[in-house]
Amino acid sequence: MLTLVLVSDKTGVTSFAVLFSLLHELGHVLALICGKIHPKSFKISLFGIHISLPESLSTAEKIPVLMAGFSVNFLLAVLFFVLKNPLFGYINLILGIFTALPVPSSDGGEVLKAVLEEFLPKESE
């Protein structure tokens, strides 16, 4: 399906959205490298990269890794707005907002889960 969308998109916007999604995932990887954290598993699929973090990580170690992806998108959005490229700015802003939402299986949802487990362990379920 992604191939069909990429081939049929004459504007190239979808290609850039995929590129910015990859940069989002690279943000997570860079946070792991900077934190000297070795993931339990690392899987690449059609829907992105899934990184399983070790259970021994503290909340303070986990949250920067989880927030790194959408932080990259927000930084890219600011950069592109400053460079007067609003299309790329909005693509990154939308990706950043969408992945920062505190819903299950998103980066924002994982951040919320980590915070709740830290401060309200019984109620976090």
pLDDT in tens, 84-101: 999 999 999 999 999 999
Is pTM, for the whole model, over 0.85? no
Residue 18 has pLDDT above 70, yes or no: yes
Q: At what angle do helices 86-100 and 107-119 cross, to 10 degrees?
A: 40
Residue 35 has pLDDT above 70, yes or no: yes
End-to-end, the C-alpha distance of the chain in Å comes to 35
- Gap between the Cα atoms of 96 and 107, Å rounded: 10
Phi, psi (deg, nearest 5) at residue 46? -60, -30
Q: Which residues contact 82 (CB under 8 A, 6 or more apart)?
A: none
